[in-house]
Amino acid sequence: MPESYTTNDLLNAIAVASKALAERKEEVNRLNVFPVPDGDTGTNMSLTVEMVVDNIAKLPIGAHGAEIRKAITTGALMGARGNSGVITSQILRGLCEGSADYDELTTESIDAAFSHSAEVAFQAVRKPVEGTILTVLKDSALAAKKARKKKLDVEEALEFIVSEAYASVRRTPDLLPVLKDNGVVDAGGFGLAILFDAFASALVGKEGPMVDELAFARGAVPRVEIEQVNDWEGSQYRYCNEFLVDSDSLDKDEALDFLATMGDCELCVGEAPKFKVHVHSNTPDKVLKYFLDRGQISEVHIHNMQLQSEARAAGLEAEEAEAEHKPIGFVAVAPGRGNAKILESLGVDVVVSGGQTMNPSTKDLLDAVNKVNADAVIILPNNKNIIMAAQSCAGLSDVPCAVVPTTSVPQAFSALFGFDEEASLEENVESMTEAYEDVKTGEVTVAIKDAKDAHDNPIKEGDTIGIADGSIEAVGSSIAQVVMDLLDAMGAGDADTLTILAGEDMTDDAFEELIGAIEDAYEDLEIDSHRGEQPLYPIVMSVE
């Protein structure tokens, strides 16, 4: 063990930890206890830490102290996605602030860093829940304190903290019943333990010689590049796939033959061990599996070209007709172009594409706020997992900014009807929040794992499930059946209005047939139906 650790040792350990979490993010995602396609905790945490590494890589050689801590905290915050990402950013911020008074890594500085990190992270969450990532952090901080009192050396202290982090993860089902009911540990806590483990192992050299990933990021090692191709249109395939492949054995000619069977515009350039792959395909999973079987992949970008084209067209329209300056503007998050068009018709200036499984980062929201031509901006997150990122954005924005904490697109519709252009920002936040408080939201999707509903009834993978304001209230074999059961659970018989949005996989004929069945069952219910085109959820609806 070295007597002391250099700045480069610490920064390389951060890069290795980021890579370790990226490689295991799907393992973390699968621990998500809610049986809908939003198991993105590992992805969100990984993207957050990746932004940290990117920020560090941009520092000049020789940077140290406050400059490095700022790069870490800024990168973490700007890259934060979803609740898990925001909390992770606060954990990293606390570690940096807690170690600011120390010039060397010692058990005393480790204790100070963890103690402050726990304090900062708990302050960031209004209602902390035991059995989550916060519990794992708290237990790790207590281990750091014990390590200092026992006068362990740095390597012994790090091993003690990592061991306690994993032990804490194993205890999470005893603290949070929903974890025990589903036979899993907490996803965020597990992701945090992976980060601590990888960082500590890399720092003390337990895994052997360490690859200088930061040097590669700075460009010391030439990157494989391909010519920019403007190919978003004209392809019969929907997804544009681009990624790097690290392999000593990949045969480019064989790879190109394979890519030709997957789609068009195929490219595989470079030489061992670095290759760049590009292809248009409707089956990106098969493309990725082929190259994963032959090496390691990185910097994966899969774009839906249809949505990209629509977004580009919308952007050009916005440039051609610059928005009129106004006192208060709006940014909203929504999945599906149909939902975006409705929100825009109600006065939203910028719609950020996102929702379940697609949580925009703090930076994404901040960029959107900066596009609004207004004296102040209200953000409508429209998903509970985006509220914290929206609040972080509001705190960072140079423009006065506030959040109306909507958790669904239908809530946003009602909130916008409560807007008064003559009122102040604060008054509108209050009135808009009151406007959607009585809105009950329902969502229909397909379970991706076995689980139980709100009444302890079994759910099987592949079942259609209905979720009312976060509670699984209906389970069945068909969308129509689950919609009707869900409406009953939501008290539609006592409601005045139903807003219902069809997802991208819901056909027009099936949607019309469903509306007819609802009209027959609820003669006095006013139905406002639209095509939302949201993915994964064939039906999203609300009653009020």
Q: What is the pLDDT of residues 197-217, one digit of tens each?
A: 999 999 988 763 223 333 323
Encode 320-359 in three state secondary structure.
Answer: HCCCCCEEEEEEEEECCHHHHHHHHHCCCCEEEECECCEC
DSSP three-state, residue 184 = coil
Q: For 31-40, what is the mean pLDDT?
A: 61
- Give CATH 3.30.70.1150 domain extents, the chain: 226-307
Q: In which residue are the tokens 């068909």 written?
A: 478
Q: Which single residue is written with the structure tokens 């930061």?
A: 214
CA–CA separation, 285 and 39 (whole Å)? 17
Give the CA diameter of the chain. Answer: 79
Contacts for 500 with CB less than 8 Å, ≥ 6 apart: 515, 518, 527, 528, 529, 530, 539, 540, 541
Specify the CATH architecture of the domain 7-216.
Answer: Alpha Horseshoe (1.25)
Level-2 CATH architecture, domain 226-307: 2-Layer Sandwich (3.30)
Strand ranges of the sheet holding 526-531, from the earlier edge strand across to the other edge? 471-476, 464-468, 440-446, 539-543, 497-502, 526-531
Task: Output the pLDDT for position 29.
Answer: 83
Task: State which of 57-66, 74-83, 525-534 shows the largest mean pLDDT.
Answer: 525-534
Q: Is the pLDDT of residue 218 over 50?
A: no
For CA atoms 532, 499, 388, 454, the dihedral sign is: negative
CATH of the structural domain 440-543, one choice from 3.30.1180, 1.10.3470, 1.10.8, 1.10.600: 3.30.1180
Q: Does the pLDDT value for residue 490 go beyond 90?
A: yes
Q: Is 6 exposed, middle or buried (0-12, 13-18, 19+ CB in 10 A)?
A: exposed
Which residues of the chain does CATH 1.25.40.340 include? 7-216
Instruction: Say which range, 272-276, 302-306, 311-315, 410-414, has the weakest mean pLDDT.
Output: 311-315
The C-alpha atoms of residue 516 and residue 507 are separated, in whole angstroms, by 14
Give dist(CA 172, CA 176) in Å, integer.
6
What pLDDT, on the 0 to 100 scale, is given for residue 314?
Answer: 63
- Find tokens 């994404």 and name the residue: 364
Please list the residue range(s) of the chain that carry CATH number 3.30.1180: 440-543
Q: What is the dihedral of CA 246, 250, 254, 256, to 10 degrees?
A: 20
Q: Does the model's pTM come out above 0.85?
A: no
Identify whether the C-beta of residue 358 lies closer than 8 Å to the C-beta of residue 39: no
| Nearest residue to 88 (alpha-carbon basis) of 136, 149, 151 | 136
In the 3-class helix/strand/coil scheme, how is 485-509 assigned residue by residue?
A: HHHHHCCHHHCCEEEEEECCCCCHH
Contact 73, 95 (CB under 8 A): no
Tokens standing for 110?
Answer: 């480790």
Specify burial of residue 485 (Cβ count, 10 A radius: 0-12, 13-18, 19+). Answer: middle
pLDDT score for 82: 66
Check if the beta carbon of residue 335 is closer than 8 Å to that of residue 503: no
Residue 224 pLDDT exceeds 60: no
pLDDT at 9 over 50: yes
Token pair for 451: 């689980």
CATH no. of 322-436:
3.40.50.510
Instruction: Please give the average per-residue pLDDT across 350-367, as a whole number.
Output: 91
Mean pLDDT rounded to a whole number for the chain = 86
- Segments of the chain assigned to CATH 3.40.50.510: 322-436
